[in-house]
Amino acid sequence: MTDFLQMRGIGKRFGATIALNCVDLGVAEGEVHALVGENGSGKSTLMRILAGAIRADDGTMTLGGEPYNPKNPADGRKAGVAMIHQELSIAGHLPIVDNVLLGMEEARFGIIKRTEAKRRVKAALARLGQEDLDLEVPAQQFPLAVRQLIEIARAVAVGSRVVVLDEPTSSLTEADVQQLFDVVKKLRSDGHAVLYISHFLDELHELADRMTVLRDGQLVGTRSMDGVTDETIVTMMVGRGIEEMYPRSVRHPSEVVLDVKSLAGYTRPDDASFSLYRGEVLGIAGLNGSGRSELLRTLFGLDPIKSGDVQLGVYQGPASPARRWAEGMGLLSENRKEEGLALNLSIADNITFTTLPRGVVNPARINQSSQTWIERLGIRCQGPEQRVGDLSGGNQQKVAIARMLHHGVDVLMLDEPTRGIDVGSKEGIYRLIDEAALSGKAILMVSSYLPELLGTCDRIAVMRKGVLGKPRRVEEVDQESLMHEAVGA
């Protein structure tokens, strides 16, 4: 079978850096093709070239045998390449029907043919197995998973032959992930050429027919997924083995530093009790919406406490976020871009946010202290004055963690600390967590990715519908038992 989409000898340089060097990629119709690689491997550059956001310096692209040279992303869409990014392109205020047909509405004298439009959208959604949505409701009232579907439906409705899904599951719940898999399989059986980018190896096994691995802008290889092991994929990606991925030193938890009794907030959680010890990592598993993030936010004073007791060290009772920082507690937001970091400010500004002295700030001093953290955590950047927004996801997350370490907190609450960052950076974050635990800090970590919880935590508790289960030692649980508890089976 010849590939419908062919990219041959693609090369791209940014100044002196070679981002891509002679990369080939081919995707056939009716195939799910996984594109794998760490951040900085050239994956996103390749996808931006495919989408038409940037031009390649060398190489050729063809679609169905025809030359394909998009001038901009809209051009690429028109030619039949639909790109579905992590940050969705949805106009939240518009109803589903208008969102799906945005930019290709059929109209007579400028007036949209409403009935016809709804029929088209219904048909597109039906092909994805999703007929039951109320098309007149503004998209922003739906959860992320549905908005993502709307965007995939847009690709179907516009007649795209190539559909690129860029880490589509990174912020979905387990149940939504299954639904997305069904949709992807429908796309495949409908004859679309699907390019699937993901950091989750289990997803690749489940969905992909072939995979292409990039490393440092070079093509490592393309191979069929049949009989490929995780070991092989990781080795191809990072050039080293998987067992080194989750470092867990022998830890010695000491005294209780955070004691929570029957904590309830106004929305969630409904009932959470646990003790967190110095020198341990306590993981919280559960489905999205089960109230895991709300638990952290309530503890941190971002959401109000309805009832229950919180004892943090010698401090008793509720407190504002400012007080929590002062009491030695830090929160890493799951929403790095909007809540966690000020993307327009420098690394130094972000790291020293919570520790600025009263009165005059000395820029030289904050740069100097930030420089130490940049070196200790291995943040890849040009210096403390670089804008955080210019860093890769993994390095941004390191900055967010550096803020807590610089503040000198005793309790680190990490909400999805590795969301949307590549395997190599994840490893760096795991090592940081391990080091922090070894140095006597207490870590409370929320994650939707079970292997990561099992790999890094000492104990794991499962949140289900606002109620936190009893924390259990990591040796006593596995993926299956955790998932059972999360879904209430």
Partner 1 sequence: MKRVPRSVFNLVGLVVALVVIFVVFSVLQPKSFPTVSNLETLARQSAIVALVSLGMTYVIVNAGIDLSVGSTAAFSGVAIAWILQRHYSPALALLGGVLAGAIAGLLNGLLITRLKVGPFIVTLGTMLIIRGVATGVAHEQTINPPDSWLNNLLAVLGPDEKWKLLPIGVWLTIVLAVLAALSLRYTRFGRHVIAIGSNEHAARLCGVPVERVTMLVYVISGAFAGLAGLMLFSRLTVGDPTVANGLELDAIAAVVIGGASLTGGEGSILGTILGALIMATLRAGASQVGLDNWVQQIVTGVIIVLAVALDKLRKKQIG
> Which residues of this chain interact with partner 1, rule CB under 8 A?
73-74, 77-78, 88-94, 98, 102-105, 107, 110-112, 114, 134, 137-138, 141, 154
Distances (CA, A) of 88 to 166, 176, 281, 480: 10, 16, 33, 31
Q: How far is the CB of 51 from partner 1 (least distance, A)?
A: 9
Query: Which residue has tokens 């600025």?
Result: 356
Q: Are 268 and 288 in contact (CB under 8 A)?
A: no
Task: State the nearest-atom distance from the C-beta of 435 to partner 1, in Å.
Answer: 39
Least distance to partner 1 from the beta carbon of 151, Å? 9
* Element at 25 (helix H, strand E): strand 17-27
Q: How many residues does the chain have?
A: 489
Considering the complex, state which of residue 94 and residue 487 has its C-beta at the smaller distance from partner 1.
Answer: 94
Q: Which residue, 139 or 467, is less far from partner 1 as judged by CB? A: 139
The answer to whether 169 and 207 have CB atoms below 8 angstroms apart is no
Question: Minimum distance between the CB of residue 111 and partner 1, rounded to whole angstroms?
Answer: 5
In the complex with partner 1, the residue whose CB is nearer, 76 or 428, is 76
**Concatenated DSSP letters for 439-483?**
TT-EEEEE-S-HHHHHHH-SEEEEEETTEE---EEGGG--HHHHH
Query: In the complex, what is the shortest distance from the CB of residue 72 to partner 1, in angstroms, rounded to a whole number?
Result: 9
Nearer to partner 1, 15 or 110 (CB): 110
- Residue 131 or 231: which CB sits closer to partner 1? 131
Helices vs. strands in the chain: H and E counts, helices first: 16, 23
Residue type, 337: K
Nearer to partner 1, 101 or 184 (CB): 101
- 50 token code pair: 């495919």
User: At 137, is the secondary structure helix, strand, or coil?
Assistant: coil
Closer Cβ to partner 1, 65 or 103, answer by number: 103
Closest CA to 212 of 382, 45, 34: 34
Give me the sign of the Cα torsion angle 235, 240, 244, 246: negative
- Shortest Å distance, C-beta 269 to partner 1: 18
Least distance from partner 1 to the Cβ atom of residue 53, Å: 10
Give residue for tokens 């093709």: 33
Round to whole Å and give the CA distance between 61 and 71: 13
101 vs 414, which CB is nearer to partner 1? 101
How large is the C-alpha radius of gyration of the chain? 24
> At closest approach, how far in Å is the CB of 302 from partner 1?
15
Angle at 82 between CA 78 and CA 84, to 5 degrees: 145
